[in-house]
Amino acid sequence: MMDQLGIKALRPGPSGTETAPNHANYDESTANPFPVLPDVLTLKNGKKVTSAAMWKNQRRPEIIEDFEREVLGRVPGNVPKVTWTVTNTVSALVGSRQVIGKQLVGHVDNSAYPLISVEIQMTLVTPADATGPVPVMMMFGGGGLPGVPPANGKSPPPPAPGADPPSTQQLTPLLGVGERVLYEAQYSAQPGELLVNTDKFRDLSTLYRWKIGSDLTAAGFREVFASPSMEVSEFKIDQARHHVYVELNDRGYTKLAVLDGKTYAQVALPLPREADHVVAGVSTDDGRYVTIGVSTPTGPRVSYVWDWQKRALVQWLVPSSPEVDLASFVPAKLVTYPAKDGTPIPAFVRVPKGCAPDESTTSDPCPVIVLFHGGPEAQAKPGFSTYRQMFVGAGYILVEPNVRGSGGYGRKWLDADNGPARLDVIGDIEDASRYVKAQYARNGKAPKVGVMGGSYGGYATLVAMTMFAGAYDAGVSNVGISNLESFLRNTAPYRRALRISEYGDPDRDGEALRKLSPVNHIDRAKDPLLIMQGVNDPRVPVGEAIQMHELLARRGVVAPLMLFADDGHGASKRSSAAQQIGQTIKFFDEHLKQKSPT
């Protein structure tokens, strides 16, 4: 084959042998996504292009040669001639732009082999107002002439500049226009009907049926599945429209309900009972098979396949964790603690062996870490977590509150911290410390308590260490907001409007934002605080960490700053994640664990 193609030698590609000089690179930290390209205005002999003639006669041919040899490939010199013929021409609108569409056929010269006839179909569309050559973009695939020529042969005038395109070329929103509520919709088995998950009519999101174009009030929505205490967190219907799979958020646990796709009657499924989370995955096109994911506290997720015809559940994946002792993993327990106003705040707690108040009663209490989640609309959940187990394995009681503003408990709970209302519920952060100090004390001695979190959890950590200084003995903030006003003005533009709806408008709600900003309570800070930040973070700019570190340093507070130059909002690289986890545990060990008397 090489002889037939005139190839004399092959250049070896990357080798799979790691010791080879040209081995393939699997280390993402050494990969360069932006290779150094040759200078466009430097000849291959190193001379600079200094005139238009040098560009035209020397450098441009070099670049064309490289592209033909390395990228595009060469066109053989004996390619048969193609003669193009226009078979149809139309004038039409594409959006608001008048265009000329031409249908062409390319007749390939087959004189070298008359038994084969080749005709190439092509559509060419150009702006109607073009007065000279225009750039052409090639697209391979199906497609015909744009629009339909009018009966009178005359094209309608183009819309005025900036005007909307014709109604036949516009998408019309069905739900959510002018509203701030949840909508999730999919086509049901009935023509013209949608299944809609929304929290518009109840505090907890509920699954409804809705005829497209019908009443948008509660009268137009027919309830399909609702729970008095659980949100419909997600749903899916198989392509054959045989079954609807409804995932329910039960205070952080995930339950699965299955409905008949036509009658919406609940269908029993023999699912494992001892699980924190049960979810539905993908279904086959005919709906016969569906994957089921089951998560327990002490092992990776297990995948099953359910066969509706045989009504059989078959385990499809055996999880493996040969390097970890799963017997040491501690399940999370759901508890509540009281806020100052009496509101019960849910939290998940992992207690290492020997750290319960009634164990080792002669020993000092085990240190506690309170981990606040991000979002703030996220939700702390139970389940298998190697990250959390590392802190439990290091001897810490781990507490994860779902303070007001968290998702999973209804719209009222979710919206309780929006804008200036955050001032009314921010005390949930301090109340968590009060609870754990009382709950996990031993011999009348309160435990040392640390606080940590990322993103909004990092903000909560900074609030805990400044506004509520003294409530926690040490903190670790990762990509946390230190000043809500500077954050809202400097975060990426694509996020600004979304975050203003959550935190408040700097122009309208400036007073509340200042009261809620940790930098404005820096005079109270006194306990050690580790600050971590990705330099390339588009969400929480690096300046949030730097200004917090500088203010604390001026007060003499222990506040080391770790900047990750090649990371953004959190640790995307394994090396960064390992360093952040290791430094966090080391920092807490230094400041929370009881010192033995010398």
pLDDT tens, 496-553? 888 998 999 999 999 999 999 999 999 999 999 999 999 998 899 999 999 999 999 9
Q: Quote the pLDDT of residue 277.
A: 96
The predicted-structure confidence for 367-405, as pLDDT tens digits, reads as follows 999 999 999 999 999 999 999 999 999 999 999 999 999
Average pLDDT, stretch 446-464?
97
Nearest to 373 by CA among 570, 515, 542: 570
Give residues with Cβ within 8 angstroms of 82, minimum separation 6: 106, 107, 108, 109, 120
Contact between residue 194 and residue 176 where contact means Cβ atoms under 8 Å apart:
no
Cα–Cα distance between 431 and 449 in angstroms, integer? 12
Mean pLDDT of 307-311: 95
CATH superfamily of 183-315: Prolyl oligopeptidase, N-terminal domain (2.130.10.120)
Percent of the chain's residues with pLDDT above 70: 91
| Integer-rounded Cα radius of gyration of the chain | 32
Helix (H, G, I), strand (E, B) or coil at 497: helix
Among the CATH numbers 3.40.50.2300, 2.40.240.10, 3.40.50.620, 3.40.50.1820, which is that of 326-592? 3.40.50.1820
Element spanning 552, H or E: helix 543-555
Q: Does 235 score more than 90 pLDDT?
A: yes
Residue range 151-176: mean pLDDT, rounded: 66
SS (H, E, C) 221-279: EEEEECCCCCEEEEEEECCCCCEEEEEEEEECEEEEEEEECCCCCEECCCCCCCCCEEE
Looking at the predicted structure, is the pLDDT value of residue 234 above 70? yes
Contact criterion met (CB below 8 Å) for 504 and 512:
yes
Classify residue 56 by its DSSP letter.
Answer: I
Q: How far apart are CA 233 and CA 329, in angstroms?
A: 27
Mean pLDDT of 47-67: 92
Q: Which residues contact 164 (CB under 8 A, 6 or more apart)?
A: 96, 170
CA distances from 572 to 67, 138, 496, 566 (A): 35, 37, 23, 9
pLDDT at res. 598: 44
Whole-angstrom distance, CA of residue 352 vs CA of residue 544: 35
The model carries a pTM of 0.73
As a whole number, mean pLDDT of residues 258-263 equals 96
Q: Where in the chain is the domain with CATH 2.130.10.120?
A: 183-315
pLDDT band (50, 70, 90) for residue 28: low
Banded pLDDT at 37 (limits 50, 70, 90): confident
- pLDDT score, position 314: 93
Which residues have C-beta within 8 Å of that of residue 344, sequence separation ≥ 6? 336, 337, 338
Torsion of CA 509, 514, 515, 521, to 10 degrees: 170
Query: Where are the domain boundaries for CATH 3.40.50.1820 in the chain?
Result: 326-592
The arithmetic mean of pLDDT across residues 178-197, rounded, is 92
- Cα–Cα distance measured from residue 593 to residue 317, given in angstroms and rounded to the nearest whole number: 41
* pLDDT computed for residue 154 by the predictor: 54
Q: What pLDDT band is residue 53 in, cutting at 50, 70 and 90?
A: very high
pLDDT classification of 597: cutoffs 50, 70, 90: very low
Residue 236 forms beta bridges with which residues? Answer: 245
Task: Convert 582-597 to b/e letters by CB count within 10 Å (16 or more is b).
Answer: eebbebbeebbeeeee
**Nearest CA to 418 among 217, 597, 180, 227?**
180
- In a 13 Å sphere around the CA of 288, the CA atoms on its Cβ side amount to 4
Average pLDDT over residues 204-233: 94
Question: Mean of the per-residue pLDDT values for the chain?
Answer: 89
Asked if 546 and 574 touch (Cβ cutoff 8 Å), the reply is: no
**Identity of the amino acid at 343:** T
Structure confidence at residue 400 (pLDDT): 98
Torsion angle in degrees (nearest 10) through CA of 531, 532, 535, 536: -130
